[in-house]
């Protein structure tokens, strides 16, 4: 498999073995939830069953009363990456996407209190709506784009990626010291401020300004 085989969203969905998520990578989001600014990247994972594309509905997990959206820039891995270094990390990127790290915030709050994993809060089926693909050759600087998320037509999140705490080479170097990233895997780089409660019937539009945009409906 090489990068040209995943030029469409459907293709890298089929290749992905996991979605690696970075938490608290934007100061304003860490602060809006009352969390400390991390000293090193904070990682968790979503299974491939969380991956949905346009046309598939967002569905809250059973019992969730506080479902949140988190718009995030996604890095799509183009070359198997293990123990790579910052200096050539960008060579391992096949392209970029934008996704929602859907979060059952009430489940997460409960897990945080118990010191328990976030798995249920973060990786329920359909918890990762993914939209669009930009080959890395078409996006020279992923740290110089604007992410946006609108709910029912109203701006909810809008932020440039240059304010990430840990940049993409740092995230890839750190991540791959511990586990291998396979072709098609997606690394979600954290959400900016503006997460909020999502309700049944909402329409969520999100993307990279001027580049990719997609629309998902909430069941």
Q: Which H or E run contains 10?
A: helix 9-15
Among candidate residues 44, 195, 54, 193, the one with its CA nearest the CA of residue 130: 54
Binding mask 184-203 toward Mg ion (x if CB under 5 A, else -) reads -------x------------
The piece of 20-28, 130-138, 146-154, 158-166 that touches ligand OAA (CB under 6 A) is 20-28
Binding mask 108-127 toward ligand OAA (x if CB under 6 A, else -) reads x-------------------
| Helix and strand totals (H; E) in the chain | 5, 13
Q: Which is nearer to ligand OAA, 21 or 130 (CB)?
A: 21
What's CA 31's distance to the chain center, in Å? 19
Give the nearest distance from C-beta 25 to Mg ion in angstroms. 8
Q: Which is nearer to ligand OAA, 1 or 45 (CB)?
A: 45
CA dihedral angle for residue 211, residue 217, residue 218, residue 219, rounded to 10 degrees: -160
23 binds ligand OAA (CB under 6 A): yes
Give the nearest distance from C-beta 47 to Mg ion in angstroms. 15
Q: Which is nearer to ligand OAA, 176 or 191 (CB)?
A: 191
Per CB under 6 A, the list member of 14, 27, 33, 179 interacting with ligand OAA is 33
Let me know: does 182 contact 6? Beta carbons within 8 Å. Answer: no
Per CB under 6 A, the list member of 3, 9, 16, 24 interacting with ligand OAA is 24
Cα-Cα end-to-end distance for the chain: 35
Per CB under 5 A, the list member of 15, 75, 95, 101 interacting with Mg ion is 101
Let me know: does 111 contact 120? Beta carbons within 8 Å. Answer: yes
- The encoded tokens of residue 192 equal 């900016």
Q: Which is nearer to Mg ion, 72 or 173 (CB)?
A: 72
Distance (Å, whole) CA 145 – CA 209: 7
Interacting residue ranges for Mg ion, rule: CB under 5 A: 70, 101, 191
């Amino acid at each position: 498999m090489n990068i040209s085989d995943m030029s469409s969203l459907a293709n890298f969905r089929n290749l992905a073995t996991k979605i690696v998520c970075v938490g608290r990578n934007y100061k304003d989001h860490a602060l809006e939830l009352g969390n400390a600014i991390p000293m090193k990247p904070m990682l968790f994972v979503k299974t491939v069953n969380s991956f949905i594309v346009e046309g598939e509905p967002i569905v809250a997990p059973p019992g969730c009363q506080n479902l949140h959206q988190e718009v995030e820039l996604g890095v799509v891995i183009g070359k198997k990456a293990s123990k790579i270094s910052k200096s050539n990390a960008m060579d391992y990127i096949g392209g970029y996407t934008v996704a929602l790290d859907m979060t059952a915030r009430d489940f997460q709050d409960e897990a945080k209190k118990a010191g328990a994993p976030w798995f249920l809060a973060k990786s329920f089926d359909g918890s990762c709506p993914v939209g669009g693909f930009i080959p890395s050759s078409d996006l020279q600087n992923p740290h110089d784009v604007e992410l946006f998320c609108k709910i029912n037509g109203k701006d909810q999140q809008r932020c440039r990626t240059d304010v990430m705490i840990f940049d993409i080479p740092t995230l890839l170097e750190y991540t791959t010291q511990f586990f291998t990233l396979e072709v098609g895997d997606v690394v979600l780089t954290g959400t900016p401020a503006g997460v909020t409660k999502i309700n049944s019937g909402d329409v969520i539009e999100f993307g990279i300004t001027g580049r990719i945009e997609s629309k998902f409906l909430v069941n």
